[in-house]
Amino acid sequence: MKPITIQSILTLVVTHHWSIQNIDINNAFLNDTLHEDVYMTQPPSFESVDSAIVCKLHKSIYGLKQVPRAWYEKLTTTLIGFGFQQSKYDPSWKS
């Protein structure tokens, strides 16, 4: 039996005129756990005598290159934990 892919689900929705909803997670990239050390220059509002001091981030902030990948890994792990399986036929969901 072939696994059901997102394309199959969307085909069923259109064929049967079902309603469909989506979710937009506005702050998905914020406050996620970082798996490597990330440093940034001092923010403009931070007053420090030594301008060479940098900040080590404990949580992710919007705009980091690492954050989309980390969020995707967390989403994938969560979905697999719920019993979903990655499809061999749908290349949009690879780990």
Interval 45-80: pLDDT, tens: 777 778 788 888 888 777 777 777 777 888 888 888
Give the number of C-alpha atoms closer than 13 A to the C-alpha of residue 81, restricted to the C-beta side. 6
pLDDT for the residue 15: 95
Domain ranges of the chain: 6-81
The two structure tokens encoding residue 43: 């923010």
SS3 label, residue 61: coil
pLDDT for the residue 17: 95
